Structure 1
Amino acid sequence: MRPVLLAGSSHPALAAELAKELSLSLGACACRRFPDGELDIELSDDVRGADVFILQSLHAPVGEHLLELALMSDASQRAGARSVTAVIPYLGYARHDRRVTGREPLGARVVAELLAAGRVDRVICLDLHSRAVEGCFPRPVEHADAVPLLIEHVKRNISGPAVVLSPDLGAVKRAEQFARPLGLPVAVVHKQRLSGAEVQANGIVGEVKDRQVIIVDDMISTGGTLVAAVLTALAHGAKSPVTVVASHGLFVGPALERLEKQPLARVIVTDSVPSAVGARFPLERVRSAPAIAQIIARLCG
C-alpha cells in the first residue's frame, strides 16, 4: 500500500527532512484555529486505503501537540486510511513511567491512552527515555535508534585517552552502549536530585583523571544534571573542555544560561525537536531522519 506522510505543526522541518529521505511528497493537511482557540484540522489529500504516517514531536506545549496529533489521526481514519502510525521523535511524559509516592498519575500511560483514543494504530519513537515506556502503550511501539548516528559523529572528535561518563545511574546502560563500539571505559556520577531543576553530584565511580570526557544522556532538559556532571568530572581531574551527547536537546528553563558558562568542547544532539534559539555554546545537531526512515521503510515492506 502507498504511504502518506503528514506533518503536524510541532516540527515541520523534520517532516520535510523525513519526506526527502523517503522520496515522498508531504501530504497536505491544514491546521487552523477557530476564534475560540479550538483546532480546525482538515486533510487536503486523499488518504483512502493508504498507510498514513503523522510526524509530530511532543515537546512543549505538549498538550497542544498531543491533541493535534490525535485529531489528525482521527481525521485520517475517518477519511478511510488503512492504518495510522504516529511518528513521535520526542515523546513528552516519557519520564512519567512509574509512580513514586502512589499519589501521582502515570503520565506515560495517559499519553498512550489518549493516542489510542485518537485511533493511532502504531507508534514510532526515537530513543525513548526507557524501554519500559513501551509497556504503557496498548498499541505496538517501534523504536528508532539514533545512537549509531551519534556515535559516528562523536568518533571524529576523539583524540587521546577518553572516557564515557554517565551523569547518573539511570544513564549507565546508554553510556555502555556508546562506550562499547568506541572501545572506551565507562565512569558514573553519583547524583542526588534535589528538585525538578536542581541536582547534587556526590562523586564518580571510575577513572576520569587526565582523560577527555564524553558525557552521555538521553536528553538535555534544564541542564542541571549535565552541569553537575561536568563540574564533578573537572573536580576529579578530567581534561577540559568536555563533550556532551544527548538524543534530545530540549534546553528548557535555565538550560542555555547554565551550559554557556561551562567549558564545553561541543554539545551534540539530534534534531528530534526544533533547534534551540540563542545557544551561545558549540551546538551540533545530528539528523534523525535516516533512523526514522529506516523504520518506516521496513513497515511499508
Structure 2
Amino acid sequence: MRVVLMSGSSHPVLGAALAEALGVEPGRCEIDRFPDGEHHVEVIEEVRGCDVYLLQSLGPPVDSHLMELLLLVDACRRRGAGRVTALVPYFAYARQDRRETGREPLGARLVADLIRASGLDRIVTLDLHSPAVEGCFNLPVEHLSAMPLLAERLRQIVTPGSVIVAPDLGAMKRAERFAALLKLPVAVVHKRRTSGSQVHVHHITGDVKGCTPILVDDMISTAGTIEAAVQALLEAGCEPQVTVVATHSLLVGPSIERLRRLPLLRLLTTDSVPRPAALPIPLETVSIASLLARAIEMLRAGLSGH
C-alpha cells in the first residue's frame, strides 16, 4: 500500500520534519472552523487503499486537537483508506487512568473508546504517563520511548558527581532506567500533592549532598513537582546546577515563572508538543522525527515499532 502522511493542526513543524525523514510529501487536508465553532475537516489527498498515518499531538488546546483527530480518522475511512494509524506523540488524558475518589470518570478509557469508535486501526504514542493506559485501548498500541534519545544527549554532559533524581515515586522506574543507561546513582523525592499545581515534599531517599541533580520525569505541566523537588534538593545540599529532563514539556500555567526562579542549567526535552521559539529558560530540544519515522518503517515491514 502507498504511504500517506498527513498532519493535523497541532504540530505542523513536527509533521514537516517527519515527512522529510520519511522522504514523502505531506498529504493534503484542509482544517478550519464553521462560524459556530464546529471543526471542518476535508481530506484532499487521494487515500483509497493507502496506508495512512495521521500525526496529531494532543497538547493544548487538548479537546480541540482530539476532536480534529477523530474527524480526520473518520474522513480517511470514508474516503476508502486501507489502514489508518494515528501518531500521537503526547496522549492527553493519560493521567486519568484510575479513579481516586470514585466520583470522577475514567478519562483515559473514555478517550481511548472515542478514538476506537472513529475507525482507527492502530495508535503510536510516546512515553505515556502510565503504561497502564495501554490497557484502555482495544486496538494495537505501539508505545515508544524517547528515553534512549534523551540519554544519548545526557551522556555528553553528565559528570562523576551527577545523580539521577525522580521528583516523585511515579517517576521512580523512569529514573532507574536513566540511571542504568548512564551508570549513575538514583535519589527519590517523596511528595504529597495538595492541589492540581501545588506540591509538598516529605523527604528525600538517597545521597544527594554535593551532587549535581538531573531530575527526570515523563512530563512537565505546571512545574509544581519540579519546583518543590528542586527546593528540597537544595536544602539537602545539592549543587545549585540543575538539569531537568522530560519527554513532554507542556509548560502551562505558572510553569515558566517557576522554572525561571530555579538554578536551571538546562531543560532537556523533545518536540512532542510545540512551544514558542523564544522562552526565558535554557531549553534544549531533541527531535523525535527520526524515532517516529523508524516506527513507521518497522510497522510497514510488519515488525514492532519498539
TM beyond 0.5: yes
Quote the offset at 1:167 in angstroms: 0.3
On the 8 A contact 1:260/1:279 being kept in 2, the answer is no
Alignment-derived partner of residue 279 in structure 1: 279
Matches within 5 A, 1:152-301: 152-276=152-276, 279-301=279-301
Alignment-derived partner of residue 30 in structure 1: 30
Quote the offset at 1:38 in angstroms: 1.3
Report the RMSD for the aligned CA atoms in angstroms: 0.9
Provide the rounded CA distance (Å) in 1 between the counterparts of 2:32 and 2:233: 49
In terms of mean alpha carbon deviation, does 277-286 or 148-157 score higher? 277-286
Provide the rounded CA distance (Å) in 2 between the counterparts of 1:115 and 1:9: 17
Quote the offset at 1:118 in angstroms: 1.0
Quote the offset at 1:117 in angstroms: 1.5
TM-score of the superposition, structure 1-length normalised?
0.98
Alignment-derived partner of residue 53 in structure 2: 53
Provide the rounded CA distance (Å) in 2 between the counterparts of 1:96 and 1:133: 9
Q: Which runs of 5+ in 1 are unaligned?
A: none
On the 8 A contact 1:31/1:40 being kept in 2, the answer is yes
Provide the rounded CA distance (Å) in 2 between the counterparts of 1:244 and 1:200: 19
On the 8 A contact 1:2/1:51 being kept in 2, the answer is yes
Residues 121-172 of structure 1 deviation map (CA, whole Å, 9 limit, x = unaligned): 1000011111100000111110121100000111111123111000000100
In terms of mean alpha carbon deviation, does 275-284 or 287-296 score higher? 275-284
Provide the rounded CA distance (Å) in 1 between the counterparts of 2:125 and 2:67: 17
Provide the rounded CA distance (Å) in 1 between the counterparts of 2:73 and 2:229: 41
Paired residue secondary structure (1:58): coil
- For 1:8, give the aligned amino acid: G
Q: List 4+ stretches of structure 1 deviating above 4 A.
A: none
Alignment-derived partner of residue 304 in structure 2: none
- For 1:172, give the aligned amino acid: M
Quote the offset at 1:70 in angstroms: 0.6
Quote the offset at 1:244 in angstroms: 0.3
On the 8 A contact 1:250/1:276 being kept in 2, the answer is no
Matched, 1:44 2:25: no
Q: What is the aligned residue count?
A: 301
On the 8 A contact 1:126/1:292 being kept in 2, the answer is no
Quote the offset at 1:19 in angstroms: 0.8
Provide the rounded CA distance (Å) in 2 between the counterparts of 1:191 and 1:279: 28
Provide the rounded CA distance (Å) in 2 between the counterparts of 1:243 and 1:177: 17
On the 8 A contact 1:214/1:245 being kept in 2, the answer is yes
- For 2:41, give the aligned amino acid: I
Alignment-derived partner of residue 109 in structure 2: 109
Paired residue secondary structure (2:273): coil
TM-score of the superposition, structure 2-length normalised?
0.97
